[in-house]
Amino acid sequence: MEQFSGRVAVVTGAASGIGFALAERAGREGMSVVLSDIEAGALEAAVEKVRGLGVKAIGVRTDVSKEADVETLAERAYGEFGAVHLLCLNAGVYNRQRATWLQSVDDWRWVLDVNLWGVIYGIRAFVPRMLAGGEEGHIVNTASMAGVITGGPGTAVYDASKHAVRSLTESLYRDLVVRTKQLSVSVLCPGAVDTRIFEAERNRPADLSVPEGPEPTSGVASALGQYPPEEMANQVFDAVRADRFYVLAAQQPIIEWTKMGYDRMFGGKNPAVSHSLLAQRDAGHPVE
Protein backbone atom coordinates (compact mmCIF):
# COMPACT_ATOMS: atom_id res chain seq x y z
CA MET A 1 0.00 0.00 0.00
CA GLU A 2 1.82 3.09 -1.22
CA GLN A 3 -0.91 5.71 -0.87
CA PHE A 4 -1.89 6.85 2.64
CA SER A 5 -3.40 10.32 2.24
CA GLY A 6 -7.18 10.34 2.41
CA ARG A 7 -7.33 6.86 3.87
CA VAL A 8 -8.15 5.55 7.36
CA ALA A 9 -5.88 4.09 10.05
CA VAL A 10 -6.84 2.30 13.28
CA VAL A 11 -4.23 1.94 16.03
CA THR A 12 -4.60 0.12 19.35
CA GLY A 13 -2.49 1.11 22.33
CA ALA A 14 -2.41 4.54 20.71
CA ALA A 15 -2.21 6.80 23.76
CA SER A 16 1.54 6.50 24.20
CA GLY A 17 4.75 4.90 22.98
CA ILE A 18 4.83 3.08 19.67
CA GLY A 19 1.07 3.27 19.30
CA PHE A 20 0.99 7.04 19.52
CA ALA A 21 3.95 7.30 17.15
CA LEU A 22 2.05 5.18 14.61
CA ALA A 23 -1.10 7.26 15.01
CA GLU A 24 0.82 10.53 14.72
CA ARG A 25 2.68 9.31 11.62
CA ALA A 26 -0.63 8.26 10.06
CA GLY A 27 -1.92 11.77 10.68
CA ARG A 28 1.18 13.31 9.14
CA GLU A 29 0.59 11.13 6.09
CA GLY A 30 -2.87 12.71 5.73
CA MET A 31 -4.86 9.78 7.07
CA SER A 32 -7.95 9.92 9.24
CA VAL A 33 -7.07 8.14 12.46
CA VAL A 34 -9.00 6.05 14.97
CA LEU A 35 -6.99 5.86 18.19
CA SER A 36 -7.83 3.26 20.81
CA ASP A 37 -6.41 2.72 24.27
CA ILE A 38 -7.51 1.58 27.71
CA GLU A 39 -6.42 4.86 29.39
CA ALA A 40 -9.21 7.34 28.73
CA GLY A 41 -7.40 10.52 29.78
CA ALA A 42 -4.22 9.78 27.88
CA LEU A 43 -6.30 8.73 24.86
CA GLU A 44 -8.16 12.03 24.80
CA ALA A 45 -4.89 13.97 24.89
CA ALA A 46 -3.44 11.82 22.09
CA VAL A 47 -6.49 12.40 19.90
CA GLU A 48 -6.18 16.16 20.32
CA LYS A 49 -2.51 16.02 19.28
CA VAL A 50 -3.36 14.08 16.13
CA ARG A 51 -6.22 16.46 15.31
CA GLY A 52 -3.67 19.25 15.63
CA LEU A 53 -2.08 17.91 12.45
CA GLY A 54 -5.17 18.99 10.53
CA VAL A 55 -6.71 15.54 10.07
CA LYS A 56 -9.83 13.84 11.39
CA ALA A 57 -9.25 11.72 14.48
CA ILE A 58 -11.47 10.00 17.02
CA GLY A 59 -10.70 8.09 20.19
CA VAL A 60 -12.40 4.88 21.26
CA ARG A 61 -11.58 3.61 24.73
CA THR A 62 -10.89 -0.08 24.26
CA ASP A 63 -9.83 -2.94 26.46
CA VAL A 64 -8.39 -5.21 23.77
CA SER A 65 -8.63 -8.21 26.10
CA LYS A 66 -12.42 -8.02 25.68
CA GLU A 67 -13.86 -9.15 22.35
CA ALA A 68 -16.91 -6.91 22.71
CA ASP A 69 -14.69 -3.84 23.10
CA VAL A 70 -12.72 -4.66 19.95
CA GLU A 71 -15.93 -5.29 18.01
CA THR A 72 -17.20 -1.89 19.19
CA LEU A 73 -13.94 -0.34 17.99
CA ALA A 74 -14.51 -1.79 14.52
CA GLU A 75 -18.11 -0.61 14.50
CA ARG A 76 -17.09 2.92 15.49
CA ALA A 77 -14.31 3.06 12.88
CA TYR A 78 -16.57 1.91 10.06
CA GLY A 79 -19.49 3.98 11.31
CA GLU A 80 -17.40 7.14 11.34
CA PHE A 81 -15.26 6.66 8.23
CA GLY A 82 -16.80 3.81 6.21
CA ALA A 83 -13.50 1.97 5.69
CA VAL A 84 -10.22 0.97 7.31
CA HIS A 85 -7.05 0.77 5.23
CA LEU A 86 -4.29 0.48 7.83
CA LEU A 87 -4.84 -1.60 10.96
CA CYS A 88 -2.13 -1.52 13.64
CA LEU A 89 -2.80 -4.04 16.41
CA ASN A 90 -0.20 -2.70 18.78
CA ALA A 91 -1.51 -2.75 22.37
CA GLY A 92 0.76 -4.73 24.68
CA VAL A 93 1.82 -5.25 28.30
CA TYR A 94 4.82 -6.65 30.19
CA ASN A 95 4.74 -8.48 33.52
CA ARG A 96 7.25 -8.82 36.35
CA GLN A 97 10.16 -11.15 35.71
CA ARG A 98 10.36 -14.38 37.67
CA ALA A 99 11.11 -18.06 37.07
CA THR A 100 8.69 -19.77 34.70
CA TRP A 101 7.18 -21.97 37.41
CA LEU A 102 6.58 -18.95 39.63
CA GLN A 103 4.61 -16.97 37.05
CA SER A 104 1.06 -16.85 38.34
CA VAL A 105 -2.02 -17.88 36.40
CA ASP A 106 -3.09 -14.23 36.68
CA ASP A 107 0.15 -13.19 34.95
CA TRP A 108 -0.54 -15.59 32.10
CA ARG A 109 -4.14 -14.46 31.77
CA TRP A 110 -3.31 -10.76 31.74
CA VAL A 111 -0.42 -10.87 29.30
CA LEU A 112 -1.97 -13.38 26.90
CA ASP A 113 -5.34 -11.62 27.03
CA VAL A 114 -3.79 -8.33 25.95
CA ASN A 115 -0.80 -9.32 23.82
CA LEU A 116 -2.29 -12.32 22.03
CA TRP A 117 -6.06 -12.24 22.32
CA GLY A 118 -6.05 -8.51 21.59
CA VAL A 119 -4.52 -9.32 18.20
CA ILE A 120 -6.86 -12.29 17.62
CA TYR A 121 -9.92 -10.17 18.40
CA GLY A 122 -8.62 -7.42 16.12
CA ILE A 123 -8.14 -9.81 13.21
CA ARG A 124 -11.61 -11.29 13.70
CA ALA A 125 -13.29 -7.87 13.95
CA PHE A 126 -11.51 -6.04 11.15
CA VAL A 127 -10.21 -8.44 8.49
CA PRO A 128 -13.66 -9.62 7.30
CA ARG A 129 -14.78 -6.01 7.05
CA MET A 130 -11.61 -4.99 5.20
CA LEU A 131 -12.05 -7.85 2.73
CA ALA A 132 -15.72 -7.03 2.21
CA GLY A 133 -14.86 -3.38 1.57
CA GLY A 134 -12.88 -4.39 -1.51
CA GLU A 135 -10.20 -1.74 -0.99
CA GLU A 136 -6.44 -2.02 -0.64
CA GLY A 137 -5.26 -2.37 2.95
CA HIS A 138 -2.50 -3.48 5.29
CA ILE A 139 -2.39 -4.99 8.79
CA VAL A 140 0.54 -4.50 11.17
CA ASN A 141 0.75 -6.64 14.31
CA THR A 142 3.24 -5.66 17.00
CA ALA A 143 5.27 -8.60 18.29
CA SER A 144 8.83 -8.11 19.58
CA MET A 145 12.35 -9.33 19.00
CA ALA A 146 11.41 -11.46 22.01
CA GLY A 147 9.01 -13.12 19.58
CA VAL A 148 11.86 -14.07 17.25
CA ILE A 149 14.12 -15.56 19.89
CA THR A 150 13.62 -15.64 23.65
CA GLY A 151 15.43 -13.30 25.98
CA GLY A 152 16.97 -13.93 29.37
CA PRO A 153 15.65 -15.78 32.42
CA GLY A 154 12.31 -14.73 33.88
CA THR A 155 10.52 -13.61 30.73
CA ALA A 156 8.51 -16.72 29.82
CA VAL A 157 5.07 -15.10 29.78
CA TYR A 158 5.95 -12.10 27.63
CA ASP A 159 8.17 -14.14 25.30
CA ALA A 160 5.47 -16.76 24.77
CA SER A 161 2.90 -14.09 23.94
CA LYS A 162 5.14 -12.44 21.38
CA HIS A 163 6.19 -15.72 19.75
CA ALA A 164 2.49 -16.46 19.38
CA VAL A 165 1.84 -13.07 17.76
CA ARG A 166 4.65 -13.60 15.25
CA SER A 167 3.42 -17.08 14.37
CA LEU A 168 -0.19 -15.92 14.14
CA THR A 169 0.82 -13.07 11.84
CA GLU A 170 2.81 -15.37 9.57
CA SER A 171 -0.27 -17.59 9.26
CA LEU A 172 -2.47 -14.56 8.59
CA TYR A 173 -0.11 -13.47 5.81
CA ARG A 174 -0.24 -16.89 4.15
CA ASP A 175 -4.02 -17.14 4.52
CA LEU A 176 -4.47 -13.78 2.82
CA VAL A 177 -1.83 -14.01 0.11
CA VAL A 178 -3.27 -17.22 -1.36
CA ARG A 179 -6.74 -15.66 -1.51
CA THR A 180 -6.32 -12.01 -2.42
CA LYS A 181 -3.96 -9.26 -3.49
CA GLN A 182 -6.13 -6.75 -1.69
CA LEU A 183 -4.70 -7.05 1.84
CA SER A 184 -1.19 -7.59 3.08
CA VAL A 185 0.42 -7.97 6.49
CA SER A 186 3.55 -7.03 8.43
CA VAL A 187 4.83 -8.00 11.87
CA LEU A 188 6.68 -5.36 13.87
CA CYS A 189 9.44 -6.76 16.09
CA PRO A 190 10.90 -3.86 18.10
CA GLY A 191 14.14 -4.05 20.03
CA ALA A 192 14.76 -1.63 22.90
CA VAL A 193 12.35 1.32 22.54
CA ASP A 194 11.65 4.25 24.84
CA THR A 195 8.08 3.42 25.90
CA ARG A 196 6.14 2.89 29.13
CA ILE A 197 5.66 -0.86 28.65
CA PHE A 198 7.57 -1.63 31.85
CA GLU A 199 4.94 0.46 33.67
CA ALA A 200 2.11 -1.59 32.17
CA GLU A 201 0.82 -2.72 35.56
CA ARG A 202 -0.84 0.68 35.89
CA ASN A 203 -3.55 -0.83 33.66
CA ARG A 204 -3.63 -4.33 35.14
CA PRO A 205 -7.22 -5.36 35.96
CA ALA A 206 -8.06 -5.14 39.65
CA ASP A 207 -9.24 -8.75 39.75
CA LEU A 208 -5.81 -10.04 38.65
CA SER A 209 -3.44 -9.97 41.61
CA VAL A 210 -0.09 -8.20 41.24
CA PRO A 211 2.85 -10.36 42.34
CA GLU A 212 5.40 -9.15 44.83
CA GLY A 213 8.87 -8.15 43.72
CA PRO A 214 10.52 -5.33 41.80
CA GLU A 215 8.94 -3.86 38.69
CA PRO A 216 10.48 -5.05 35.42
CA THR A 217 13.41 -3.29 33.80
CA SER A 218 15.42 -3.83 30.63
CA GLY A 219 19.12 -4.53 30.95
CA VAL A 220 19.33 -4.53 27.15
CA ALA A 221 17.99 -0.98 27.01
CA SER A 222 20.55 0.13 29.59
CA ALA A 223 23.37 -1.45 27.60
CA LEU A 224 22.34 -0.43 24.09
CA GLY A 225 20.19 2.64 24.52
CA GLN A 226 16.63 2.94 23.27
CA TYR A 227 15.14 3.94 19.95
CA PRO A 228 12.50 6.66 20.06
CA PRO A 229 9.01 5.39 19.20
CA GLU A 230 9.05 7.54 16.08
CA GLU A 231 11.75 5.27 14.64
CA MET A 232 9.32 2.35 14.89
CA ALA A 233 6.70 4.35 13.00
CA ASN A 234 9.22 5.24 10.30
CA GLN A 235 10.15 1.60 9.82
CA VAL A 236 6.53 0.46 9.80
CA PHE A 237 5.45 2.93 7.14
CA ASP A 238 8.49 2.08 5.01
CA ALA A 239 7.59 -1.61 5.33
CA VAL A 240 3.95 -1.04 4.42
CA ARG A 241 4.97 0.92 1.33
CA ALA A 242 7.37 -1.85 0.31
CA ASP A 243 4.94 -4.65 1.27
CA ARG A 244 7.63 -6.09 3.54
CA PHE A 245 6.47 -8.61 6.13
CA TYR A 246 9.22 -8.64 8.75
CA VAL A 247 9.97 -5.31 10.42
CA LEU A 248 12.97 -6.16 12.61
CA ALA A 249 13.27 -2.73 14.19
CA ALA A 250 16.08 -3.54 16.61
CA GLN A 251 19.58 -2.43 17.48
CA GLN A 252 22.27 -4.28 15.52
CA PRO A 253 23.60 -6.25 18.53
CA ILE A 254 20.08 -7.63 19.09
CA ILE A 255 19.92 -8.68 15.44
CA GLU A 256 23.28 -10.40 15.79
CA TRP A 257 22.27 -12.16 19.03
CA THR A 258 19.15 -13.39 17.28
CA LYS A 259 21.13 -14.77 14.36
CA MET A 260 23.49 -16.53 16.75
CA GLY A 261 20.51 -18.04 18.55
CA TYR A 262 19.22 -19.61 15.36
CA ASP A 263 22.71 -20.79 14.47
CA ARG A 264 22.83 -22.57 17.83
CA MET A 265 19.45 -24.16 17.23
CA PHE A 266 20.30 -25.49 13.76
CA GLY A 267 23.72 -26.52 15.06
CA GLY A 268 22.14 -28.75 17.68
CA LYS A 269 23.24 -26.58 20.60
CA ASN A 270 21.22 -25.63 23.66
CA PRO A 271 19.86 -22.08 24.08
CA ALA A 272 22.50 -19.52 25.03
CA VAL A 273 22.70 -18.56 28.71
CA SER A 274 24.74 -15.75 30.22
CA HIS A 275 28.13 -16.99 31.40
CA SER A 276 27.95 -14.64 34.37
CA LEU A 277 24.62 -16.15 35.49
CA LEU A 278 26.04 -19.66 35.18
CA ALA A 279 29.09 -18.63 37.20
CA GLN A 280 26.76 -17.14 39.80
CA ARG A 281 24.91 -20.48 39.96
CA ASP A 282 28.15 -22.44 40.30
CA ALA A 283 29.27 -20.15 43.11
CA GLY A 284 26.14 -21.09 45.04
CA HIS A 285 24.24 -17.85 44.43
CA PRO A 286 21.73 -18.65 41.66
CA VAL A 287 19.22 -16.14 40.37
CA GLU A 288 16.21 -16.01 42.66
pLDDT band at 120 (very low <50, low <70, confident <90, very high): very high
**pLDDT at residue 44 in the model:** 98
Domains of the chain plus CATH, in order, are 8-253 (3.40.50.720)
More confident residue, 183 or 285: 183
In this predicted model, what pLDDT tens digit does every residue of 43-99 receive, in sequence order? 999 999 999 999 999 999 999 999 999 999 999 999 999 999 999 999 999 999 999
In this predicted model, what pLDDT tens digit does every residue of 180-218 receive, in sequence order? 999 999 999 999 999 999 999 999 999 998 877 667 766
pLDDT band at 150 (very low <50, low <70, confident <90, very high): confident
Over range 246-257, report the average pLDDT. 95
Active site residues per annotation? 158
Q: Is the pLDDT of residue 270 over 70?
A: yes
**pLDDT at residue 177 in the model:** 97
**Which contacts qualify for 203-207: CB closer than 8 Å, 24 or more apart?**
203/38, 203/39, 203/93, 204/93, 204/110, 205/65, 205/110
Over range 253-265, report the average pLDDT. 93
Percentage of the chain with pLDDT > 90? 85
Q: Is the pLDDT of residue 219 over 70?
A: no
Over range 127-146, report the average pLDDT. 97
pTM check: above 0.85: yes
Over range 17-34, report the average pLDDT. 98
